[in-house]
């Protein structure tokens, strides 16, 4: 496991007091929110790369592939 990185966030006093009234592990909450956002941005980037590759026609769908996938989906119901 790599060495943890310390991130400091400044909030105003009023917000801090409101946070104290709520029993949440704020560090874990922020870690999870950051993790989810990073994953979202990575998926978006992968989708953009895929779309670009499709627009450049680097990938082609084999003839009959779409029909076979639809047929399999219907039979699986």
Q: What is the pLDDT of residue 1?
A: 75
pTM for the model? 0.64
Q: What is the pLDDT of residue 24?
A: 96
In 3D space, the residue among 20, 2, 24, 1 whose CA is nearest the CA of residue 11 turns out to be 20
Q: What is the pLDDT of residue 39?
A: 95
One pLDDT digit (tens) per residue for the chain, 77 residues: 788 899 999 999 999 999 999 999 999 999 999 999 999 999 999 999 988 888 887 667 788 888 998 988 898 76
């Amino acid at each position: 496991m790599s060495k943890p990185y310390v991130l400091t966030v400044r909030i105003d006093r009023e917000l801090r007091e409101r946070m104290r009234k709520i029993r949440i592990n704020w560090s874990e909450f922020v870690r999870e929110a950051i993790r989810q956002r990073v994953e979202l941005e990575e998926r978006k980037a992968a989708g953009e790369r895929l779309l670009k590759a499709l627009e450049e026609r680097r990938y082609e769908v084999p003839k009959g592939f779409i029909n076979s996938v639809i047929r399999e989906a219907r039979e699986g119901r």
